[in-house]
Structure 1
Amino acid sequence: MGLRHKKASAGGGHSTSGISPNSTNGTSGTSPDISENRPSWRRDPLEYNLDRSWDINAAPTTRVFNLTSSEIQAAPDGVLRPLFVINGQFPGPLIRVNQGDRVLVNVTNQLSNGTSMHWHGFYQNGTNWMDGTVGITQCAIPPGESFLYDFTVKQFGTYWYHSHFSSQYTDGLVGPFIVHSPEESKIQEMYDYDQVVLLQDYYHDLSAALLPGYLSSGNENAEPLPDNGLIQGTNFFNCSSYDSDSGYACDQNSTRAIFNVAQGKRYRFRLINTGAFGEFQVSIDNHTIQVIEADSTLVHPVTVNRLPIHVAQRYSILFHANQTTTNYWFRARMNDYCFSDQNPVLDTDVRALITYTNSTSDPAPTESVDWTYALDTACEDLAPSSLIPYDPLPAPQVDITYPIEISFQIGDFALDKAYINSTTWVPPAIPTLNQAVAGLQVNNANFTTSGVSTAFDSSQLVIDVPTYKVIDVLINSLDEGAHPFHLHGHQFWIMASGAHGAFNWNSYPTLNMTNPMRRDTITVDAFGWALIRFKADNPGLWALHCHISWHMEAGLLMQFQTRNDIMRGWAVPSDVLALCHVK
């Protein structure tokens, strides 16, 4: 039932670049002795250092990437387990492009089950069938097959990509996707180095092995709890946490991530929570941080000591390496206050090393000091009111408001399923996009009814917005846990939110319309609510769902069908349709 309060006790022209590590300048990155000894399946963390010589003003070009998903045995934290990898390594490779580039990504599936790839946060305007959402915009890519994703990037900022098939991304199919733009020049003077940082909760078992117990009769939605957390795909784990007969093979040979910094330099860390369940609270001992980006929206700098980042969210933070030249902890504390129980092997204090001296030594406790500012005991985002977009964009007047309720309910056979209103989502065999386009082509009136659609089966809650409208969605949580809700294909304005109670409809005329925060993932707290607004101007079928892996599998997803007037002229590409017919 969500994160719950714990019970007491390149250049112009045509480019065909594959994915390869980027060169770096300066000293930011992982120390050489760690890099040289890394196993072949562990991705070189230097790849996540963004070369500042990248030409953000380059003319739009075509960039080609190849991603192959496969399964290996690996031990990112010392515990050996089956791990899903991309191009033989974990985490996934960096994809880096410019706004306006055409991106071709050939995804080859060498797994035993189907897969897909979703480009998290991208609008996919005009290419809805490239969104990568199994059951909505495509069928899964079958084992042994390949599929070419082809789309043009129309925005810029910090994004990521991941499998959108079942809970599969939980097992390793994640990677960063960075888009540059000439508009970045106005903030680039604020920092000397640019670094991608992946955060994720981590399990020692495949998600497919954990799912049956989670979805079983009588479980009452007790989510599987992480066993560890990773930074840049690595962390230390204490093997003695497991008994000798635990069944886990563990070697005390793993390490924490290391970030080298140079005295006096300024650093941008692009934080991405690629996890399945856990919220992190990020801080750097002895260093204040400034938030300058949230979900790809640049914001005026906000100084904080700790930053909460929920599943699927992204933040860019700045810090100045102006302390004594020694080592300090970078902390990503997992907020277990939001869990319903405790995992005895989980150390929630997930850490990496900030080193001024290219050293792997742990910081001295007297020199690296955590902030006395208390850890958050709620599962909430950084207050939207504190985030002011750098580029003002007034919110338009609303045309239609749709209240929705999210809950978990125990039904037949004592199964505890997730609901939006009265619908629990089950992926259909034929994607809803395919169904809608076919229906519109034959002028089936069921596919053009404004409001809750009657064209799909009972496991699909689809709100149909046939022509351009401005939509408000009031998300009311009737659940005791927090939920990070993500809207595909759009950014939304956060018009209002509350940690408890109900939205005051009398406040509608006084909402901030001038420059409210815009993002694509918002945390709705336990028994809380959020009012989000978006322009329903992007044609297609777009998911709105909780990004906690377990909750999507329990059914916490709905869709918007928008701009039928444009979709009526569509033909789903033959290669997309063919995915549903591969034997």
Structure 2
Amino acid sequence: MRASTESDRDVESYVLSVVSIEDRDHEQAQGLLKKENAQSPSDARHVSISKWKWIRAVISTFILGCIIAPLLLFLLWKALDIRIWHDPISLQRSDDYILDPTWNFDAASTKRVFNWTISDEVANPDGVYRPMLLINKQFPGPLIEVNEGDTIVVNVHNKAKNATSIHWHGIFNKGSNWMDGTVGVTNCPIAPGSEFRYEFKVDGQAGTYWYHAHHGVQTSDGLLGPLIIHSKQEKSLQKIEYATDRVVMVQDYYHDLSDGLLLKYLEPDRENIEPVPDGALINGQNVRNCTSLPNRKCNAKNAALPIFNLEPDKNHRLRFINVGSFAQFQIQVDEHQFAITEVDGTDILPTYFHRLNINPAQRYSIVVNANNTDRDSYWIRARMVTHCFGEKNPELEPEVRAIINYQQPSTTSINSLPAPSQSTLPSSTDWPEVIELICLDLDTSSLKPVIPIAAPPKPDASFYIRTNFEIGAHRLSRGFFNTSSFQPQILYPTLHRLIDHLSPSSPSYNTTTITSLPTLNSPSLPNPQGPTTSIGINTIFTNSSTELFLQTPTISPASTIDLIFTNFDDGSHPLHLHGHKFFILGQGHAYPPPDILSPETVPHNPDVNSLLQNPLRRDTATIESYGWLHIRVILDNPGVWLLHCHISWHFEAGMGMVLGVGIEDIMRDIENADENKTHESSGWINMANNMKPMCTRKDADRGKRPDDSIWDDA
């Protein structure tokens, strides 16, 4: 059944109001009758005649009401139905994500301003109508295309019924931690009816990124889009010259609103049973067979498969982004190999594949040569790995396709092309291998960055983190990093509490407590009293059972840490670190090798030295089911940064923690501002003054994850 909308509830409210009015009229009629009887007229015949006239009037009114009321309700429903299902909105088409071929990579740095209105809409991207949360009534959201060194300004006006927030996935936000858009960590939500201005400079990075909601699971409701940063050296960093450049977003797709799906997922007795998608989209497009979905409001007349027109015998860059909430995709171009040339914003030496594994939030650029002229058109296939789903969905269509047309350049817009008929669909051949049975990353050991950067030979500290789900009170299944299940304070984010705690006026000032986390290279971290001097867990203003907070003292020099994840769960977890890229030092099945777990006692593995010379750098890596992941990260970006599973359902169930970077540096900045009796020198103080009013606005937490206490009586 389709999700309930505000308009559905309007209809229900109307019916209930009609019933209540009829009941009230009946009660009032009874009262009038009693009043008349109380007068006791002397003429009994007059009373009898009046009584029968009144009864006949009531019966006539009742009969007419039985005839007219349903008709009125039917007409009202049709009127509402038209309003619900046929509001005009702009669905993006594939050519909206072709990057500007005349783009000036050498343009002087500038400020690029975007004005967005977020609103509740209804759309049918694949034919099935559903409520959505959209930017400027567009799905997917508008393309942001900038140069490295530019300043991005996004003015957001939230006209939706729920609060919201935008996160800039993979963006460092150096010097502007408070623009990360992470609800409960760096920001409070943008309340309904209010506005917020995001402003940040993109420095020290280029490549393929994206933006999405970071409040609840609103990304799956449509709040997402691509963000492309061009480097002045882009043409030289990409080792294969290409004629066209475009974004290709793949996503799992649900026909119901995320809040209802999330509530069901979090309820008791739902261990490892994530909501299973109904289908998938490429650049917001697909075509469903409405006759196979009798319980859905569906009209696929204007739905279409995405079409990519590629000039023959030319190279073409396709920037794939998995913008979904749950599913891993395997992507292929029939009868074509392709070169992977970028991973999560890191340019790599061309490496050839014919199938691409891509997990939620990951990005891969591929370059495909349109040189197979045996046919005029080919399928791009994007298949979800359904073996990773915990239950069946009878409406699931696991594969979505796009069409590659070999076509000479023309001025004809793709939007003006007729929808392909069955006779014009590609007849290209699928690659023969069987689809994966487990969800895991592409083997990245062969992917080498174009700009070589060696990983530090040793970390300052190594931390072991166990990822798993556990059944707790009320039979609730929750995600854990070690013994912590993340539940951020929506209206008092971690960053705000940190600033308040580090202020000289705070009672806890200069008594920051560090406690130990299970470590490998540093088995006994000190517990200093006074300013932070070590790497460890802060417990003075966070509760580690619901907000694990790992902090480092300074960025001069920056701390290097190893994180070794071991997954005791039968599902995979694409892990994303905000504000940083990390080095991939190893991934695998079962338990981490002994030389990782006990580097001081196990003979040195000579292969490690070779790996450290130029490992892949990225911001999202997957730990497979019952597997392990080893990353090394230089924490050189001061602020508080979320580390979490990017399967939206898992994060909402608790799979997250916070890294506090350069805490001494932040404290020193605040101290200097206090001594100078001015806040001008402290961006952190300015942030606190400017951002905190957001947290007190009406309905600022509307749409948040339900609290576990609602199941106290379960």
Q: TM-score, normalised by structure 1?
A: 0.90
C-alpha distance in structure 2 between counterparts of 1:377 and 1:388, whole Å: 27
Map of 1:325-474 to 2, 5 A cutoff? Answer: 325-357=375-407, 360-362=420-422, 367-396=427-456, 397-428=458-489, 429-442=491-504, 443-446=509-512, 448=532, 450-455=535-540, 456-457=542-543, 458-467=545-554, 468-474=558-564
Choose 523-532 or 501-510, whichever is displaced more: 501-510
3-state DSSP class of the match of 1:571? Answer: helix
Cα-to-partner distance string for 1:389-441 (whole Å, 9 max, x where unaligned): 11100001311101111110000000001111111111213100111122122
Q: Could you tell me whether the CA contact under 8 Å between 1:305 and 1:373 is conserved in 2?
A: no
Q: Structure 1 residue 382: deviation in Å?
A: 1.1
Of structures 1 and 2, the one with the larger relative CO (CA 8 A, separation 6+) is 1
Cα-to-partner distance string for 1:23-53 (whole Å, 9 max, x where unaligned): xxxxxxxxxxxxxxx9642024322001221
The answer for the alignment partner of 1:492 in structure 2 is 582
**Letter in structure 1 aligned against 2:431:** W
3-state DSSP class of the match of 2:612? Answer: coil
Q: Structure 1 residue 377: deviation in Å?
A: 2.1
Alignment counterpart, residue 594 of structure 2, candidates 504, 513, 524: 504
3-state DSSP class of the match of 2:341? Answer: strand
Map of 1:469-484 to 2, 5 A cutoff? Answer: 469-484=559-574
In structure 2, relative to structure 1, the CA distance for the partners of 1:318 and 1:362 (3 Å cut) is farther
**Letter in structure 1 aligned against 2:694:** L
C-alpha distance in structure 2 between counterparts of 1:363 and 1:385, whole Å: 43
The answer for the alignment partner of 2:664 in structure 1 is 565
The answer for the alignment partner of 1:15 in structure 2 is none
3-state DSSP class of the match of 1:386? Answer: coil
**Letter in structure 2 aligned against 1:436:** L
Alignment counterpart, residue 298 of structure 2, candidates 242, 250, 269: 250
Choose 436-445 or 146-155, whichever is displaced more: 436-445
C-alpha distance in structure 1 between counterparts of 2:538 and 2:462, whole Å: 16
The answer for the alignment partner of 1:555 in structure 2 is 654
The answer for the alignment partner of 2:706 in structure 1 is none
C-alpha distance in structure 2 between counterparts of 1:465 and 1:361, whole Å: 60
Q: Could you tell me whether the CA contact under 8 Å between 1:108 and 1:144 is conserved in 2?
A: yes
Gaps of 5+ in 2: 1-86, 408-416, 514-531, 596-601, 670-683, 699-714
The answer for the alignment partner of 1:11 in structure 2 is none
Q: Does 1:513 align with 2:612?
A: yes
The answer for the alignment partner of 1:9 in structure 2 is none
C-alpha distance in structure 1 between counterparts of 2:113 and 2:464, whole Å: 42
Q: Could you tell me whether the CA contact under 8 Å between 2:240 and 2:367 is conserved in 1?
A: no
**Letter in structure 1 aligned against 2:549:** V
**Letter in structure 2 aligned against 1:252:** A
Alignment counterpart, residue 65 of structure 1, candidates 111, 114, 124: 114
**Letter in structure 2 aligned against 1:354:** I
Alignment counterpart, residue 231 of structure 2, candidates 181, 186, 194: 181
**Letter in structure 2 aligned against 1:546:** C
C-alpha distance in structure 2 between counterparts of 1:39 and 1:45, whole Å: 19
C-alpha distance in structure 1 between counterparts of 2:166 and 2:234, whole Å: 27
Choose 401-410 or 355-364, whichever is displaced more: 355-364
Q: Structure 1 residue 345: deviation in Å?
A: 1.5
Map of 1:162-177 to 2, 5 A cutoff? Answer: 162-177=212-227
Alignment counterpart, residue 236 of structure 1, candidates 284, 287, 307: 287
Cα-to-partner distance string for 1:243-277 (whole Å, 9 max, x where unaligned): 3xx2x201132221111112112110000100000
Choose 198-207 or 216-225, whichever is displaced more: 216-225
Q: Could you tell me whether the CA contact under 8 Å between 2:94 and 2:308 is conserved in 1?
A: no
Q: Structure 1 residue 375: deviation in Å?
A: 2.0
Q: Tell me which structure has the larger Cα radius of gyration.
A: 2
Q: Does 1:290 align with 2:339?
A: yes
Alignment counterpart, residue 219 of structure 1, candidates 265, 270, 291: 270
Alignment counterpart, residue 353 of structure 2, candidates 295, 304, 307: 304
Q: Structure 1 residue 67: deviation in Å?
A: 1.7
**Letter in structure 1 aligned against 2:229:** V
The answer for the alignment partner of 2:149 in structure 1 is 100
C-alpha distance in structure 2 between counterparts of 1:366 and 1:107, whole Å: 41
In structure 2, relative to structure 1, the CA distance for the partners of 1:444 and 1:385 (3 Å cut) is same
Q: Could you tell me whether the CA contact under 8 Å between 2:272 and 2:390 is conserved in 1?
A: no
In structure 2, relative to structure 1, the CA distance for the partners of 1:459 and 1:227 (3 Å cut) is same
Q: Find runs of 4+ consecutive structure 1 residues off by over 3 angstroms.
A: 361-367, 447-450, 506-510
C-alpha distance in structure 2 between counterparts of 1:229 and 1:355, whole Å: 21
3-state DSSP class of the match of 1:204? Answer: coil
C-alpha distance in structure 1 between counterparts of 2:112 and 2:425, whole Å: 47
The answer for the alignment partner of 2:210 in structure 1 is 160
The answer for the alignment partner of 1:194 in structure 2 is 245
Q: Aligned residue pairs: how many?
A: 543
Q: Could you tell me whether the CA contact under 8 Å between 1:258 and 1:354 is conserved in 2?
A: yes
**Letter in structure 2 aligned against 1:388:** K
C-alpha distance in structure 2 between counterparts of 1:508 and 1:463, whole Å: 28
Q: Structure 1 residue 374: deviation in Å?
A: 2.9
3-state DSSP class of the match of 1:463? Answer: strand
Q: Structure 1 residue 499: deviation in Å?
A: 2.0
The answer for the alignment partner of 1:111 in structure 2 is 160
Q: Does 1:582 align with 2:697?
A: yes
C-alpha distance in structure 1 between counterparts of 2:352 and 2:437, whole Å: 20
Cα-to-partner distance string for 1:297-343 (whole Å, 9 max, x where unaligned): 11111111100000000000010111224121111111112212222
In structure 2, relative to structure 1, the CA distance for the partners of 1:390 and 1:192 (3 Å cut) is same
3-state DSSP class of the match of 2:263? Answer: helix
Choose 223-232 or 99-108, whichever is displaced more: 99-108
Cα-to-partner distance string for 1:510-539 (whole Å, 9 max, x where unaligned): 422100111000010001111111111110
Structure whose residues are more often helix by fraction:
2
**Letter in structure 2 aligned against 1:481:** G
The answer for the alignment partner of 2:255 in structure 1 is 204
Q: Could you tell me whether the CA contact under 8 Å between 1:434 and 1:572 is conserved in 2?
A: no
C-alpha distance in structure 2 between counterparts of 1:472 and 1:562, whole Å: 14
In structure 2, relative to structure 1, the CA distance for the partners of 1:495 and 1:189 (3 Å cut) is closer
Q: Could you tell me whether the CA contact under 8 Å between 1:336 and 1:342 is conserved in 2?
A: no
- Percent sequence identity is 43
Q: Structure 1 residue 363: deviation in Å?
A: 7.5
In structure 2, relative to structure 1, the CA distance for the partners of 1:311 and 1:389 (3 Å cut) is same
Gaps of 5+ in 1: 1-37
Alignment counterpart, residue 540 of structure 1, candidates 614, 620, 639: 639
Q: Structure 1 residue 365: deviation in Å?
A: 8.6
**Letter in structure 2 aligned against 1:582:** R
Q: Could you tell me whether the CA contact under 8 Å between 1:329 and 1:363 is conserved in 2?
A: no
C-alpha distance in structure 2 between counterparts of 1:118 and 1:151, whole Å: 12
C-alpha distance in structure 2 between counterparts of 1:239 and 1:509, whole Å: 58
3-state DSSP class of the match of 2:276? Answer: coil
Structure whose residues are more often strand by fraction:
1
Q: Structure 1 residue 362: deviation in Å?
A: 4.8
Q: Structure 1 residue 107: deviation in Å?
A: 1.2
The answer for the alignment partner of 1:138 in structure 2 is 187
Q: Could you tell me whether the CA contact under 8 Å between 2:582 and 2:617 is conserved in 1?
A: yes
The answer for the alignment partner of 2:323 in structure 1 is 274
C-alpha distance in structure 2 between counterparts of 1:572 and 1:479, whole Å: 42
Q: Does 1:48 align with 2:48?
A: no
**Letter in structure 2 aligned against 1:193:** T
C-alpha distance in structure 2 between counterparts of 1:437 and 1:319, whole Å: 49
3-state DSSP class of the match of 1:237? Answer: coil
Cα-to-partner distance string for 1:192-218 (whole Å, 9 max, x where unaligned): 000111111000000001111110011
In structure 2, relative to structure 1, the CA distance for the partners of 1:402 and 1:327 (3 Å cut) is same
